Structure 1
Amino acid sequence: MAAKLRKGDEVIVLVGKDKGQKGTISSIDPKAGKAVVEGINIAIRHQKQSQATQGGRTPKAMPINLSNLAIVDKNGKASRVGFRMDGDNKVRFAKTTGDAI
């Protein structure tokens, strides 16, 4: 089955500590069903000092489950994603507005 969410999509978080926040997908792992969203699900990683880096506490975006994300439609609200044939092309569309993504 084709992935409903892709890299570069603007999404909103449906559940969890970051509920209601919006961000852009920076990477996706469809096999694991997870995506990394910029500015969402931030964890602090401790890095040891070396010659290349100063070290310290660095924030890092951790993966979030795809079921906890929804695409943002043109009205700024969460929407489910559907597929339809547009001529010979298979396109994704927002189910709330019916517009192609």
Structure 2
Amino acid sequence: MKNKVHVKTGDTVVVLSGKDRGKKGKVLQVSPKEGKVIVEKINLVSKHVKPRKPGDQSGIVKAEGAMYACKVQIVCPHCGKPTRVSHKIFEDGTKERICKKCGEAL
């Protein structure tokens, strides 16, 4: 069974729950198998990095952590509101994502 995620890489999303609730960001990576997404500048975690080669920098690095896709909602580029995604199938068989609020293509 193939797992589906309602967001794609490059979409602008708003966080619905958690410590970063209400913040907007761009989706950097999607993992449909786990049902998780990585959003730019959201869910920052501290990562302790060891120097791998001599001369490498070590220390504590801030990095984006993965979060469940159900905790984010896509923001429509036309109306600017967080919305659900509907799909429209055309006569030629192509499929397009549509904003539920304004009806424009995402």
Q: Does the pair score TM above 0.5?
A: yes
Structure 1, residues 16-45: CA drift from partner, whole Å, max 9, x if none? Answer: 100010111111111111000010000000
Pairing 1:93–2:95 present: no
CA distance, structure 1, for counterparts of residue 70 and residue 4 of structure 2: 15
Structure 1 segment 1-101 matched on structure 2, within 5 A: 3-49=5-51, 50-73=53-76, 74-88=78-92, 89-101=94-106
Cα gap change, 1:65 to 1:51, in 2 (>3 Å):
same
More strand by share: 1
Structure 2: 5+ residue runs without aligned partners?
A: none
Is this contact kept in 2: 1:9–1:25, CA < 8 A? yes
CA distance, structure 1, for counterparts of residue 17 and residue 44 of structure 2: 15
Comparing 9-18 and 83-92, the one that deviates more: 83-92
Structure 1 residue matching 2:70: 3-state secondary structure: helix
TM-score by length of 1: 0.91
Give % identity. 35
Structure 1, residues 50-78: CA drift from partner, whole Å, max 9, x if none? Answer: 43531111001011111101000123221
Is this contact kept in 2: 1:4–1:92, CA < 8 A? no
Aligned residues: 101
CA distance, structure 1, for counterparts of residue 31 and residue 100 of structure 2: 24
Structure 1: 5+ residue runs without aligned partners?
A: none
Comparing 69-78 and 46-55, the one that deviates more: 46-55
TM-score by length of 2: 0.87
